[in-house]
Structure 1
Amino acid sequence: MKKIAVVGAGISGLSMANYLEKYKIDYHIYERRKKKDMAGHGFLIPKEGLDYLYQIIDSHLLHKKGNFLKKYTQYSHTGKILAEKELDHVFAISRHALIELLAQNISQEKITYEETVIPDELQNGLLKLSNGTIIDADIAIISDGSRSRIRKQLFAEETMNLVRESEVVNIIQNKDIAQAIENDFMKFHHEEGGLTFGILKLSEDSILWYSQFDNQKFSVQECSAGNLRKYMLEVFGSWHPLVSEILMKSDYQNVHVWSVYELEKLHPFYKTNIVFIGDAAHPLIPFTSQGVTSALKDAFILTKYLVEEKNIQQAFSKYETERKPEIETHIHNGRALLNQFLLPLSQQTENIIPISYK
């Protein structure tokens, strides 16, 4: 098997590395950030995603690091129950915990941090390091995120659009609050639409909370921890007491303010010997809750065809053919969920779970 360079040591890149490890395929990962910057917040992973994770992570270890959510409950912002639905093996886990689990099978000698990789303009299909050194690899698997620099350079005509939704995401360590919410996925909605607050229990003493804003109505920008805390309490101070309690007891030093972008249209998933996976191939807006699962499936299916096919282009083509229809379904579902989010509650479809299913 040929040498492979993996660009990006996030969820998709590490998932790819784990699948390559299973088949003893030679690879090296390049990550532009520092190792300590690879933490983050958290994910919802539906059953299908767990099935792919179980192939590369011990299920018992995985279960210890996260929490199964048993029920989705939709509330008005004051706490009136609007809808309830049982969940089938939907798992919540912090990004930090999942990164650690995926990295445990990867030798540190196979990952280079603080190294930016770019295409070489003079040699089609080759990548180079920031110092100009050409990477010795026959295949490059790109997993450098939704705003992929390499994708932008290879597909210069791409258009990234700002989605009409921004998010603030944080994790709070508080055993009393965590125990009070049991194992439910709770989401509070303002009656006028365009403003929600979600709560996911990650463990016995930690929960992830996230707020979603219609960014045409609300200005959510990067700012100091103190100013952001003040802003959040101003917006959500009159909501259900659980929401305001969480916001008051949160530490805002590591809060994540996220502006969401999507591609106007999908590009091919590969070009010459360079192939894209995860968000680098197909950014999905967060309403789908399918980012991790899609990355895992990309890694699994791409590895499958790299093993089965002698011709790289044939392997890439089969990977794209198999994955693109499902991704287009998630993109369609994500946009539909976004449109629902923007509507007043009285106009929204009832019992919508914020997870896209194919």
Structure 2
Amino acid sequence: MKKIAVVGAGISGLSMANYLEKYKIDYHIYERRNKKDLAGHGFLIPKEGMDYLYQIIDPDLLLKNGNFLKKYTQYSHTGKILAEKNLDYVFAISRHSLIDLLAQNISPEKITYEETIIPDEQQSGKLKLSNGTEIDADIAVISDGSRSRIRKHLFENEIMNMVRESEVVNIIQNKEIAHTIENDFMKFHHEDGGLTFGILKLSDDTILWYSQFDNQKYMINECSPENLRKYMLEVFEHWYPLVPQIIEKSDYKNVHLWNVYELEQLNPFYKDNFVFIGDAAHPLIPFTSQGVTSALKDSFSLTKYLVEEDTTQQAFGKYEIERKPEIEVHIQNGRTLLNQFLLPLNQQTENIIPISYK
């Protein structure tokens, strides 16, 4: 089997590495950020994603680091219940925890941090380090995120659009508050639309929370932790008391402001010996809650075809044929959910779960 360079040590890159480990395929991961910078927000993972995750992570370890959510409850911003629906094995976990679990099976010698990888303009289909050294690899699996630099280099005419939604995401460790919350997915909506606050219980003392903003109505001009805290307290001051309580008692050292972008049109998933997975192949709007599941399925599918097919191009072609139609469904579902989010509550479709299903 050929040697593989994996660009990016996020969820998709580490998932790919875990599947390559199962088949004893030679690879090396290159990550431009510091290892400590890879913490952050968190994820909802539907049952289908968990089935793929169980193939590379022990289920008991997953359960120690996250939580299955029993029910989705939609509230008005004042706390009135608008809709309820039972959830089918939807799992909540912090990004930090999932990164750690995916990395535990990877030898440290197989990951290089703080190294920017660029295409070699002198040799088509090759990558090189920032110092000009050529990377010895036959295949490059690109998993460097939604605003992939390598994708932009290969597909120069692509158009990335900023989505009319931004998110502030944080985690609070507070046993007293966590004790008052069931193992549910709670989401509060402003009656005028374009503003929500979601709460996911990860453990007995840890809560993941996120707020979604119509960024044409709510513009965050200065992103320091202290400014975000002040802004959040102002915006959510008169919401259901649990919301400002969580905002006020959170530590903002690791708060994350996420400006969302999407491709106007998907590129091919591969070119020459470069192949894209996860957000690098197909940025998904966060309303879909399908980022992790899609990354896992991409990694599984690509690895399967690399093992089964005679040539790299056959493997890449079958991978794209399998994965692209499903991704296009999630993209359309995400846009539908975004449009719902922007509407006043009385114009929204009732009981929509903020998860895209194919």
CA separation in 2, counterparts of 1:225 and 1:103? 28
User: Does the CA-based 8 Å contact 2:142-2:277 persist in structure 1?
Assistant: yes
Q: Per-residue displacement from partner, 1:10-63 (whole Å, max 9, x unpaired)? A: 000000000000000000000000111111110000000000000000111111
Any idea what SS the aligned residue of 2:169 has?
A: strand
CA separation in 1, counterparts of 2:55 and 2:180? 33
CA separation in 2, counterparts of 1:225 and 1:63? 30
The farther-off stretch of 246-255 and 324-333 is 246-255
Please state how far the C-alpha of 1:222 moved relative to its aligned partner. 4.2
Structure 1 counterpart of 2:321? 321
Calculate the aligned-residue CA RMSD, in Å: 0.6
Any idea what SS the aligned residue of 1:141 has?
A: strand
Any idea what SS the aligned residue of 1:199 has?
A: strand
User: TM-score scaled to structure 2, two decimals?
Assistant: 0.99
CA separation in 2, counterparts of 1:174 and 1:331? 35
Residue identity matched to 1:279: D
Structure 1 counterpart of 2:309? 309
Matched, 1:267 2:267: yes
Matched, 1:158 2:158: yes
Q: How does 1:115-264 map to 2 (within 5 A)?
A: 115-264=115-264
Q: Per-residue displacement from partner, 1:276-325 (whole Å, max 9, x unpaired)? A: 00000000010000000000000000000000001100000000000000
Please state how far the C-alpha of 1:224 moved relative to its aligned partner. 2.1
Any idea what SS the aligned residue of 2:156 has?
A: coil
Any idea what SS the aligned residue of 1:336 has?
A: helix
Q: How does 1:109-120 map to 2 (within 5 A)?
A: 109-120=109-120
User: Does the CA-based 8 Å contact 1:166-1:220 persist in structure 2?
Assistant: no
The farther-off stretch of 41-50 and 245-254 is 245-254
Please state how far the C-alpha of 1:225 moved relative to its aligned partner. 2.0
Residue identity matched to 1:147: R
Matched, 1:101 2:109: no
Residue identity matched to 2:69: L
Structure 1 counterpart of 2:4? 4
CA separation in 2, counterparts of 1:242 and 1:141? 43
User: Does the CA-based 8 Å contact 2:40-2:255 persist in structure 1?
Assistant: no
User: Does the CA-based 8 Å contact 2:75-2:83 persist in structure 1?
Assistant: yes
Unaligned runs of 5+ residues in structure 2 are none
CA separation in 2, counterparts of 1:341 and 1:169? 17
User: TM-score scaled to structure 1, two decimals?
Assistant: 0.99
Q: Which runs of 4+ in 1 moved over 3 A?
A: none
Structure 2 counterpart of 1:281? 281
Any idea what SS the aligned residue of 1:17 has?
A: helix
* Aligned-pair identity (%): 83
Structure 1 counterpart of 2:331? 331
Any idea what SS the aligned residue of 1:187 has?
A: strand
Residue identity matched to 1:93: I
Structure 1 counterpart of 2:347? 347
Any idea what SS the aligned residue of 1:132 has?
A: coil
